Structure 1
Amino acid sequence: MYENVCVCFQITQEQFILASQSLHLQRPGCDAVYPVGLYGWRKRGLYFFLLLLLVTMIVNLALTVWIMKVMNFSVDSMLVLQSEKNVTLNVRNEQGQLTGQLTVGPEAVEAQCQRLEVWSKGGDKLLFTADEEEVIMTTEKFTVTGSEGAVFGHSVETPLIQARASEDLKLESPTRTLTMEAPRGVEVSAATGPLKVSGRKDLQLESTEGEILLDANTIQLGGLPLGVYTASPHQVSQQEEVYEVCVCPSGKIYLSPAESSSTCQAMSNICLWS
């Protein structure tokens, strides 16, 4: 009986050993190695892309420096904008509407704005102003150097018109009349030279409420027609040197030889043809 029990124990131990050996697992080996990185054509493509990017940056920098050199972009020189046709600067408000425009073209410079102002160099004095109603110049002197002078299509209002030193001042209307008006009078004077008023046809001096005063040491009326007063209308004296100024009823002035009494005749041939 004891022998049977012993056998059973041995069998159980062997089974346990066999079972333990069957449960013992071997770990897999680490003989396989996988490389990490870019190799082959991928590595060469990456290097080519980096080289191309570097060349592009260098070319871009060179073009930027060249453009700045050609366009004179610097802190020491002025800004120059060049164009084959024109250069236009636009100003818009917050709503995007055009409020001002400056166009510099090959034939003209155009400015479109509500008011154009030109200030002095220091910015403390307004020199020129232009809007839809008027043009104002606040400079002390406005000079026109053209050979034909200044041409005005309509009226001109100014307190003084003066020529340069040693130069003549000429007010002329070749095909129409020349009118000078002022509520308190118009003064025309020549301080150092003669004053000449001439016209192709009629020259009229008119005063509606005052008088016309000719105040000078010598007053000469050249080119007046000469009337004849003699006992015989067919006898004309050529030795007379003193004349009398006569006025026709029409206002025409003529000369007549002076005598002891007036020789003016209202029915003179000069008055008849006036």
Structure 2
Amino acid sequence: MDQSTTLDIEALKMTQEQYILASQSIHLQRPGCVAVYPVGLYGWRKRCLYFFLLLLLVIMIVNLALTVWIIKVMNFTVNGMGDLQVSRDGIRLEGISEFLLPLYVNEIQSRKDSPLVLRAESNVTLNARNSQGQLTGQLTVDAEAVEVQCQRLEVRSSNSERLLFSATEEQVSIGTDKLTVTGAEGAVFGHSVETPLIQAVASQDLKLESPTRTLTMEAPRGVEVSARTGGLKALCRKDLHLQSTEGEIFLDADAIRLETLPLGTYAASSGPSSSSPRTQKVYEVCVCPSGKLYLSPAESSSTCQAVSNICLWS
């Protein structure tokens, strides 16, 4: 055998003890060359990290200083901010407050010794909404008018027990004892008016007028027109109707004057009348079947005739 073969056999010879020790010692690390890498920041990365940390610290200090300054200027306290005091009952504001956005509150109340004033550059609008957010009422106050949009408008007395005024889509009710209109032109009604009494102020005249249409006064149990201290005058352009369907018409006065009544002719059955129109001083008021009034010379008996010229041409 040559020398290389001898070396291979010797290299393959391993005792049993060495094999067992080599197989059981698995926890032992195999010898080898382990690479070592440096851990950490070095160079420009380290300088950038320190710079950002310093910048963050400066920002925190400035932010803290601004927070302290705002608290000092705005006068923040445990109970509120400056003139704004927060309590269990609500929010209390002292002085003039300005709201740039809508304000939602349940109640706005002023102090007992000062009024509540709402001011705006264009208008002041108060809205009321239901649980679904729908608009149920609105009050708008601007430079030209005051507008109210609601289902029912009510004005009550100071103790809220008596209803003074109410308005709905169907009717308007006035609950005061007396309604006084002080305008020079009076009150103008476009449609009918229902009231138990129309009375003028003491020492002033009462005038009911319809310039372009008719004026009608109706009542189921009668209409009474009276003037206690002055005169009563009824003027119309066409016809004046006094009608009673079931009762009578009473004209109660010391003197009743019917002026400018036409003079009717009288055809006596026994010759001409003894009095001429020039000497006649007493006349009789006659009524035609149509209701027209005319004068007829008064005689010992009635001279009213249905065939008078006034009745025939009426």
Relative to the length of structure 2, the TM-score reads: 0.63
- Name the residue aligned to 2:151: 114
Q: Distance in 2 between matches of 1:118 and 1:127?
A: 5
- Name the residue aligned to 1:268: 308
Distance 1:120-1:201 versus aligned 2 partners, 3 A rule: same
- Calculate the aligned-residue CA RMSD, in Å: 3.4
2:230 maps to which of 193, 206, 209: 193
Q: Distance in 1 between matches of 2:57 and 2:245?
A: 107
Distance 1:240-1:90 versus aligned 2 partners, 3 A rule: same
Q: Structure 2: which 5+ residue stretches go unaligned?
A: 1-53, 76-81, 84-92, 99-108
Q: Distance in 2 between matches of 1:215 and 1:74?
A: 61
Amino acid at match of 2:172: V
Shift of residue 224, structure 1, vs aligned partner:
0.6
2:251 maps to which of 211, 214, 222: 214
User: Is residue 239 from structure 1 mapped to residue 279 from structure 2 by the alignment?
Assistant: yes
**Which one scores higher on RCO, CA 8 angstroms, separation ≥ 6?**
1
User: Is residue 168 from structure 1 mapped to residue 208 from structure 2 by the alignment?
Assistant: no
Q: Distance in 2 between matches of 1:74 and 1:137?
A: 30
Q: Distance in 2 between matches of 1:191 and 1:58?
A: 79
- Percent identity, aligned pairs only, is 65
1:90-105 residue pairs with structure 2 within 5 A?
Answer: 90-105=127-142
- Name the residue aligned to 1:254: 294
Q: Distance in 2 between matches of 1:229 and 1:114?
A: 69
Aligned-partner SS, 1:80: coil
Q: Distance in 1 between matches of 2:302 and 2:194?
A: 47
Contact 2:265-2:309 within 8 A present in 1 as well: no
Amino acid at match of 1:201: K
1:1-274 residue pairs with structure 2 within 5 A?
Answer: 52-53=66-67, 56-57=70-71, 60=74, 69-70=95-96, 75=111, 76-229=113-266, 237-274=277-314
Show CA shifts across 1:82-126 (max 9, x none): 223211111122222222211112222111222222111122222
Amino acid at match of 2:122: K
Q: Distance in 2 between matches of 1:247 and 1:94?
A: 72
Show CA shifts across 1:115-152 (max 9, x none): 22211112222212222222222111111111221122
Aligned-partner SS, 2:311: helix
Aligned-partner SS, 1:259: coil
Q: Distance in 2 between matches of 1:268 and 1:74?
A: 83
Amino acid at match of 1:93: N
Distance 1:74-1:156 versus aligned 2 partners, 3 A rule: closer
Shift of residue 59, structure 1, vs aligned partner:
5.2
Q: Distance in 1 between matches of 2:173 and 2:155?
A: 10
Q: Distance in 2 between matches of 1:220 and 1:74?
A: 66
Q: Distance in 2 between matches of 1:165 and 1:121?
A: 28
Shift of residue 200, structure 1, vs aligned partner:
1.5
Q: Distance in 2 between matches of 1:97 and 1:145?
A: 40
Amino acid at match of 2:243: E
Contact 1:228-1:236 within 8 A present in 2 as well: no
Amino acid at match of 2:280: E
Contact 1:180-1:186 within 8 A present in 2 as well: yes
- Name the residue aligned to 2:38: none
Relative to the length of structure 1, the TM-score reads: 0.71
- Name the residue aligned to 1:28: none
Q: Distance in 1 between matches of 2:60 and 2:68?
A: 12
Q: Distance in 1 between matches of 2:184 and 2:137?
A: 35
